[in-house]
Structure 1
Amino acid sequence: LLALIVNTATSAGQLLAAWMIYRWRFYVPAKTRIRLVPMLRAAYPFAIAAVLAAVQSRLNIILLERAADASEIGYYAAALRFVEAGRLLPFAFFDALFPLLASLAEVPAQLERVFRQTLVALLGFGLLFGVGFAIAGDWLIALVFGTEFAPAADVLQVAAWILLPLLLKGGRTLYWYVQRREGYVNAITLLAIFIQVALALWLIPQIGAKGAALASLLTETVAFLLLWFAPYLRLRT
């Protein structure tokens, strides 16, 4: 609890310091008033998306706590550290990609070209990551966590492949954001949460942490496919 309080206070202090620096050095009064309500209406789908993503990212740990022992939780957490590290570079790329895609919204041909080039790059990164950890998973787990975490290598060999559909889903999500289809993306994410819960409740009692990783892999794959085939579903949000 003390660590949580200290972390929250530190984050609040950083936010306050950043705001003060902005007001001191960079703030320029707006010539026109910004209407708060329309801005909040435009922002709320993204707030919902953030909440849903946070819920989905914590589901497996919660379900493992209820259906498996502490060692399985440790193996899963150890394997997931590598996946989280693998996300850093592509997710930073997403931050730069979204403004580019948004600037091409009125030029469909260029938007499609850039989007497909992006998917090829994400596909290549995800494949290299999955193959690399399938080959070196045992060695990396032993190097980072020690031989007592050896069972986590099997979990990592499944979890490493989560990054492939996750990145493709992320790219497709940005595409639909540019098309103002945030509601559809949120609906798919909500559906993915239910799918992940169902799969995890089925797989975790049978194969523990590996089942949690497999549940996430299957869920992310289904979510990506639903986002990819959205034009053919003819859904409107």
Structure 2
Amino acid sequence: MSHQKFASRVIALIALNLLVKMVWIFFVERKVQLEVGFANYGEYYSILNFTLILGIINDPGLHNYLIQSLASSSSLNNSSKFLQLKFFLAAVYIVVSWAIALIIGIGGLLLWLLLAYQVLFSFLNYQRSFLKAHQLYTAEVFLSVFDKALLIVAFLPLLYFNFGLQWSVRVYVLAQIISVFIAVACCGFYLSKKQITLFKTVCFSFDFSLLKKLVPYALFAFLVLAYQKTDAILLVKLLPNGGEQSGVYAAAYRFLDASSMLPILFASLFYPTLCNLITRKQSIEVLVRDSLFTLLGLSLIIAFVSWFFRTPLMELFYQQQNTPQLELLFGLLMFALPLIVMYYVFSSVFTAQERFRILNGVSALGFAVNLLMNFILIPRYQAVGAGMASLISFALVALLYLLFYHQNFKPLTQKNAYLKLGLFTAFLWVFGLIITSFALNWMIMLPLYAILSLTLALVLKIVKTPKQFFKARHCQ
């Protein structure tokens, strides 16, 4: 496959995922929360985060390793070992999750439903690894969003037209399980039509040596998930109204999740390009600089827009469920976006260099600080305290990555860029104070603020245009 064709497929994957993700978050997930109530949704959100954190047991990077194995060998013997190991890890994941849940007081049908969903979804990703390895990118793009697209088609009429249905989080999770099961069946059927089998032999021989190679990646992924996802769990455990506060946290965090798609999807292109440059022993400084400051410029605009227009935005999305607490939490959490950008850029650099001592050390410290801050701040400030703890831990991780990057790579071309970024941040703050002082409709002020801010970012060359960014030197 030509590089141009491959690039077009990757761009299609990003665009389709972004579209489906946005529709899912804002038109389905948000509406379900309003239907079932903040307290019920908060309980679901807490257990969901618990299953996500331990999900690294179910998938410690096995899928990516499978792709490399299939690409380097035409034999299916290895894939048989992978599948057996996959089933073994799924069983361990369920047992360990159940045991820990029992200890910390999480239980009930909802836990088992979410565990089933995580196992099924992970198996779908496992199947999609075969599509990637055999370069069946059209099918891969389609199946990457198929389960969510099914739910969107099914849920939108039910949520927005009065059919008199009684919504519950169990119904919501069951529907997700059914949609993933359908996606797994469709993917399996497609693989069989292409005469691609998931295994060759039924002889059981677990190859645990594979896990040793995956431990550094798995530990890093676990620590990152731990300091990003423990907040909702602790809210439920530390507060008498924990379900409601977790629901408030979920409502605000939803927007950070959505905006984080920008650096996440960018990293899917950034990381392989980095690896290619490093393999060919070429400089990565210009690519890192342009990627970092372009994403920082855009994320700062999003963060300041969210802060200055937090009240009308929360009123628009949550109507009578909106509260001053939700507005403040939303505004605070969105300032984590630039820090998340720094995390994705610098962690991609260190992962490409296999600097796992830095990655795991920083992530472990971030997790420890996050836990400490949550125990201190949640009892006093509730959901806002969890948001403050997240912001502090994100800031610590981003700062340490920045320091280690400059210590290890000693970039020479970023001093002026940091100065311009500081001036741009000051402008965003002052301009926001000025524009919100006028008694104008916020639907006029918000786009005006965003457009003028983006224009200044382009003039200062903090944010690169697509033509400027994708220069030949980035892709050579």
Distance across 2 between alignment mates of 1:207 and 1:127: 25
Choose the corresponding residue for 1:25, options 194, 215, 222: 194
Distance across 1 between alignment mates of 2:407 and 2:289: 20
Offset at residue 230 of structure 1 (A) = 2.0
Distance across 2 between alignment mates of 1:9 and 1:192: 28
Offset at residue 219 of structure 1 (A) = 0.6
Choose the corresponding residue for 2:271, options 62, 80, 98: 98
1:184-199 matched pairs, under 5 angstroms: 184-199=358-373
Deviations 1:90-128 (A, max 9, x none): 211111111001001145663111011111012112201
Distance across 2 between alignment mates of 1:15 and 1:169: 32
Cα 1:173–1:25 change in 2 (3 A) is same
1:53 aligns with 2:206: no
Choose the corresponding residue for 1:210, options 374, 384, 393: 384
Offset at residue 53 of structure 1 (A) = 2.5
1:43 aligns with 2:214: yes
Q: Which residue of 2 aligns with 1:111?
A: 284
Amino acid at match of 1:85: A
Aligned length: 227
Higher-Rg member (1/2): 2
Q: Which residue of 1 aligns with 2:435?
A: none
The alignment's TM-score, normalised by the length of structure 1, stands at 0.84
1:50-199 matched pairs, under 5 angstroms: 50-68=221-239, 69-70=241-242, 71-106=244-279, 110-150=283-323, 151-199=325-373
Runs of at least 5 residues in structure 1 that lack an aligned partner in the other structure = 29-35
Equivalent residues of 1:75, 1:149 under 8 A apart? no
Distance across 2 between alignment mates of 1:195 and 1:19: 43
Runs of at least 5 residues in structure 2 that lack an aligned partner in the other structure = 1-108, 124-180, 198-206, 409-476
Q: Which residue of 2 aligns with 1:4?
A: 114
The alignment's TM-score, normalised by the length of structure 2, stands at 0.44
Distance across 1 between alignment mates of 2:295 and 2:360: 22
Equivalent residues of 1:200, 1:211 under 8 A apart? yes
Amino acid at match of 1:25: K
Offset at residue 208 of structure 1 (A) = 1.6
| Structure having the larger proportion of residues in helix | 1
Equivalent residues of 2:346, 2:402 under 8 A apart? yes
Offset at residue 206 of structure 1 (A) = 1.9
Q: Which residue of 2 aligns with 1:230?
A: 404
Deviations 1:5-33 (A, max 9, x none): 763575344346435534642859xxxxx
Distance across 2 between alignment mates of 1:121 and 1:26: 44
